[in-house]
Structure 1
Amino acid sequence: MRIIIETSWDVVYLCGYFSLVVYFQYAIFTTIMYTYMTKLDPSVGPTSFGLAVTLHGIGHCLGALAAAWWTKKRYKGKKPMCVGYLLMLLSNCLFLLADHVPAETSAFYIMLCRFLGGLGMGNTSTLRTTLTAHSMSDDRAKAMSVFIGGRALGLILGPGLQLIFLFLGDTGLQLIGPLHIHSHNAAAFISIVLNISAIVALFTVYHEIERNGNSCSQRSVEDDENWPRPDKLAMFVCMLTRYCQNFTYYAIETLAPAFMMMMFNMERDSAVGTMSIIFFIAGVFALSLYSTFVFTDVARKLNIGKVNTISLIIFIIYVLTTYQWPYIPTNVVVNTDGTHGGCDYSLYSWCLGLPKTSQAFFYIGYIIAFGGCVPFINVGDATLYSKLFNPVGQALEQSLYDVSQVFARVVAPVLCTAIYASFGPQRVWELLFAQLVVVTALWIAFAHRMIPLRPKPRPVFYLE
């Protein structure tokens, strides 16, 4: 039996808000975590920061799989999403107390907080499943734009608010007793408020979808037997694209504070402030594109194959233009105390003779690649992936799609910080280039396979 009803836009827009809450927390904590860890324990380096980011990714991976199992078993998303926000709430409460943890254990304490936050962030797989089930195929690109636009807005507001929090300084304002709100933990306070608002919305506005078609919610429901087997190659290319794009993003984002201090001889606070501004500008650019997708029919008319291929090529150009080419005449500043900028030769033997990347290319290229191209890849890739399966009951498939992103978040920080510490930024850039070239080649070679799945033709009977 086939039941077709129009898209539930109230649930779609609510999922957009939920996405904002989740990714706001990810963005703002990533912005301040490295400098906060070095403040609590000056001996902490990029490797410890990379490990903290990785543990958050591992938590996200485990949380996504657990939420997918729970959602697929019950065909309901409210409880998995609620548990996710409760875990993030607990993580934020613990983060507020980090100032009172002994310095020698502060790095491990921050890692624990981020791991719990990652577990809670696993509810993104349930959000994608809910969004797909509540939207018609023709509206899927627009619905995905709402969801990913919420994510983009969260990624903007996180660094943007952190710029304001910098005015609180290291001491900040006294909250209760010895507890102070300052520039490094104000993120946890505002995140607590957002998590509570999401939980309230779940129990007051959100409504479930029923498997048997008796719910008042609006969606498209298809019987499993009406759909052929999905194209596993297309599924793999979509997941690999998501992995590669996010690997590039997390690698540059993880290394950005240390890289900017080293490459451009910047102070710690200056590097954080500049990074926040660049993230904010790129986020505004991306959000303007998402808004175009939501309020116009541009998303429906996208040729996903061509758009993804062109976007990936622009990423390749960004990596090439910011590479430390040996013919560049200017080298980085070398010293023996990198805490105030410059390349610390006592820690990194590769500092001597390292060419200096163009600061303008690094900033402008980031805005173009991550602000201008990522929206097209995010919407196109996610829309195509959701159309490779039956629109109802995609919990497992969507969790795997999330895991492809999470795997990049797990691997990129540890691998890239290790390569950076041992061999310098050149080897990191070469790794990014190789991955982008492989994924781009797959889109070109298998363009004829990257198409939506269609239901089987229904038998037609004639009465004589």
Structure 2
Amino acid sequence: MSISNKELLESSDAGLISPFFLFSNGAVSAITEIKPTTEEITDWRSIELISAITFAGAVQFSMFFTSLWPYLQQVDEYATESFFGYITAAYSLGQAVANPVFGFWSTRINKTKLPVSVGLILMFLGNVLYLTIDLMHSNQRYTMLVCRFINGCGAGIMSVMRSYAIMASSPKDRARALSVNTGALALGLSFGPAFQIAFSPLGYPGWQIAGAIKFNMYTAPPIFCLLMNAAGLIFVQTIFREHYVDVDRRSKIALEQKS
């Protein structure tokens, strides 16, 4: 079967044929084999899971807004408003430092699961340390500062998860996927203070639950966050399957062209 040079080049560029060239009388002939196109499918399951983790991370940012200062006044008599400003800024500083680090790491290894897992572990450790504030006899304000910084570093995975929502979606679904992830972030920021209000009836000092650890309106939020982080880590390790539309499509086309 003979086709023109222009048709051959267009078909070859599209990845639809693998030509075997026969040169005869200056004309190009080709025996062509039709290749199936690679369908771009959005993995909504992984995007929804990543968005759920985004929601949990946003909750952990906003839930402590209303309780940090009252709690600090309860546990540390030397706490000042100016130092509380440092505590508030520590979270944002940690996130600002960790964001590019997680982004570079994820791009370098072409993976999302490992950076997200590390971010969840950092947030888990930050909340564990937050639980110990009430057990200390001095300098609780510095412990709270470190806690918020560690939590901010863990929240650096937000940009990685937003990028994944884009890369795991097909071009026609990309706007919807990004909306799902952005919506989860907005909902988390909105629901965080509501969760804190729900814990307010517990009062202070609350009930002793394990050793000297007490369950009250100030320790319930980090315990809740610990559960969210643990659940997120388990789901990422067991259910989450990385899927990149553009990368997978190019890999399949390359394999087809080699075969």
Regarding TM over 0.5, the answer is yes
Q: State the alpha-carbon separation in 1 of the partners of residues 65 and 250 from structure 2.
A: 39
1:78 aligns with 2:113: yes
- Residues 143-171 of structure 1, C-alpha deviations (whole Å, 9 max, x = no match): 12211221223223321121121111111
- Choose the corresponding residue for 2:59, options 2, 17, 24: 24
Q: How does 1:30-429 map to 2 (within 5 A)?
A: 30-103=65-138, 105-209=139-243, 213-214=247-248
Offset at residue 126 of structure 1 (A): 1.1
Structure 1 gaps, min length 5: 215-219, 223-464
Indicate the SS of the match to 2:209: strand
In structure 2, how many angstroms separate the alpha carbons of the residues matched to 1:129 and 1:75?
A: 12
SS of residue in 2 equivalent to 1:6: coil
Aligned to 1:444: none
In structure 1, C-alpha distance between the alignment counterparts of 2:166 and 2:63, rounded to whole Å: 28
Letter of the 2:170 counterpart: M
Residue type at the aligned position of 1:201: F
Structure 2: gaps (5+ residues) = 1-12, 15-37, 252-259
Q: How far off is 1:28 after superposition? A: 0.9
Distance (whole Å) between structure 1 residues aligned to residue 66 and residue 115 of structure 2:
28
The alignment partner of 1:174 has SS state of: strand
CA deviation after TM superposition for structure 1 residue 211, in Å: 8.7
Q: Aligned pair in 2 of structure 1 residues 210, 138: CA closer, same or farther (>3 Å)?
A: closer
- Secondary structure at the counterpart of residue 214 of structure 2: strand
Partners of 1:76 and 1:209 within 8 A in 2: no
The 1-side partners of 2:105 and 2:66 are apart by: 32
Aligned residue identity for 2:216: H
Distance 2:222 2:183 in 1: 23
1:278-305 Cα shifts (integer Å, max 9, x gaps):
xxxxxxxxxxxxxxxxxxxxxxxxxxxx
Whole-Å separation in 2 of the counterparts to 1:198 and 1:167: 27
What is the TM-score of this pair, normalised by structure 1?
0.44
- Tell me if structure 1 keeps the 8 A contact 2:46–2:242: no
Alignment partner of 1:30: what SS?
A: coil
Q: Is 1:75–1:209's contact at 8 Å kept on the other side of the alignment?
A: no
RMSD between aligned alpha carbons? 2.1
> Partner letter of residue 63 of structure 2?
I
Distance 1:153 1:211 in 2: 27
Answer with 1 or 2: which has the greater Rg.
2
Quick check: 1:172–1:182 contact (8 Å CA) kept in 2?
Answer: yes
Secondary structure of 1:137's aligned partner: coil
Whichever residue aligns with residue 131 of structure 2, its letter is L
For the 8 Å contact 1:87–1:119, the answer to whether it is kept is yes
Q: Contact 2:167 / 2:246 at 8 angstroms: preserved in 1?
A: no
Q: CA offsets, 1:78-127, max 9 Å, x none?
A: 00000000000000111011012234x11111000011111111111210
Contact 2:63–2:193, Cα closer than 8 Å, also in 1: yes
Further displaced range: 162-171 or 83-92: 162-171
Residues 369-392 of structure 1, C-alpha deviation per residue, up to 9 Å, x if partnerless? xxxxxxxxxxxxxxxxxxxxxxxx
What is the rounded CA distance, in whole Å, between the counterparts of 1:180 and 1:46 in structure 2?
Answer: 26
Residue 244 of structure 1 is matched in structure 2 by none
Percent pairwise identity: 26
**How far apart, CA to CA, are the structure 2 residues paired with 1:211 and 1:153?**
27
Cα 1:139–1:212, aligned 2, differ >3 Å: closer, same or farther? closer
Counterpart amino acid of 1:60? Q
CA distance in 1, matches of 2:217, 2:244: 45
The answer on whether the counterparts of 2:167 and 2:245 sit within 8 Å (CA) in structure 1 is no
Provide TM-score, normalisation by structure 2. Answer: 0.77
Contact 2:168 2:245 in 1 (8 A): no
Distance 1:15 1:26 in 2: 17
Residues 221 and 55 (structure 1), Cα distance of their counterparts in 2 relative to 1, 3 Å cut = farther
SS at match of 1:123: helix
Amino acid across the alignment from 1:171:
P
Q: Distance in 2 between matches of 1:91 and 1:110?
A: 9
Residue 192 of structure 1 and its aligned partner are, at CA, apart by 0.3
Structure 1 counterpart of 2:127, which letter? N
Q: In 1, distance between residues paired with 2:211 and 2:149?
A: 28
Counterparts of 1:136 and 1:46, CA distance in 2: 49
